[in-house]
Amino acid sequence: MTRPEEPVGEPEAVLGRMARCRLVVVIRSPTSADALDVGRVLLAAGVAVLEVTGTTPDACGVLAALRREAGAEVLLGVGSIRSVDDARRADDADADFLVSPGSPGPLTEAMLATGRLVLPGVFTATEVMQARAAGARAVKLFPASLVGPTGLRALLGPFPDVSFVPTGGIALNDVAGWLDAGALAVGVGGQLAPPTLHCDNETTALTARVRAVLDELSRPSAP
Cα-based angle 142, 144, 145 (whole degrees, multiple of 5) = 135
Is 5 noted as a catalytic residue in this protein? no
Is 127 noted as a catalytic residue in this protein? no
Query: For every residue of 95-160, which 3-state class applies, written as one string?
Result: CCEEECCCCCHHHHHHHHHCCCEEECEECCHHHHHHHHHHCCCEEEECCHHHCHHHHHHHHHCCCC
Q: Cα separation of 37 and 19, whole Å?
A: 26
Element (H, E) at 55: none
Q: Parallel, antiparallel, or unpaired for β 186-188 and 97-99?
A: unpaired
CB 148 within 8 Å of CB 161: no
Of 5, 10, 51, 109, which one is the catalytic site residue? 51
Of 12, 73, 109, 140, which one is the catalytic site residue? 140
Question: What are the catalytic residues?
Answer: 51, 140
